[in-house]
Amino acid sequence: MKFTMQYGGGVLIALSMVMTACGGGGTPAPKGDPELGKAIYVQCSECHQPNENVEGPRHCGVVGRPAASIPDFEYSQAMRDSGLVWNEKTLDEFLTSPFTYVNGTKMGFAGLDNPKDRADVIAYLKQVSADPSICPQ
């Protein structure tokens, strides 16, 4: 993209800010805070533990792994067939509305409406996965 100076510095700054916000493609997500995410995770811990399968599959290492990849957890066919890989974007979309994102999932959770809550809980999942006292590597 080319700029000519006739637009003036202010416009250039504004444009470069927009480009930074859009950098990497996709919607700029709010930055997650793992400490706040820990409090959000209370809602998940009804069914999930980081390092143990309960009602839901364990979460250690979930950010970066393919969906339905815990061998000893019985996933729904929908989750097995989803072809998803969990990353910040797919987790954000799934946690917005699990039932619509993975139609037929057996995760009985309505979703988190607030994008910041989703970013926080994803940051927490990453932090926990990197903590060898919770998730032995």
Helix residue spans in the chain (DSSP H): 9-22, 34-41, 77-80, 88-96, 98-101, 115-129
Token pair of 109, please?
């959770």
The least distance separating ligand HEC from the CB of residue 88, rounded to whole angstroms, comes to 12
Residues 41-70 that bind ligand HEC (CB under 6 A): 43-44, 46-48, 55-57, 62, 67-70
CA 6 to chain centre: 42
Residue linked to tokens 């993975």 = 102
126 is a site residue for ligand HEC (CB under 6 A) = no
Residue linked to tokens 């143990």 = 52
Considering only 61, 88, 92, 105, the residue that binds ligand HEC (CB under 6 A) is 105
Considering only 112, 119, 123, 128, the residue that binds ligand HEC (CB under 6 A) is 112
Token pair of 106, please?
């057996």
76 is a site residue for ligand HEC (CB under 6 A) = yes
> How far is it, in rounded angstroms, from Cα 43 to Cα 134?
18
Segment contacting ligand HEC by CB under 6 A, of 14-22, 25-33, 75-83, 128-136 = 75-83
Footprint on this chain of ligand HEC (rule: CB under 6 A): 43-44, 46-48, 55-57, 62, 67-70, 75-76, 78-79, 86, 91, 95, 105-109, 112, 121
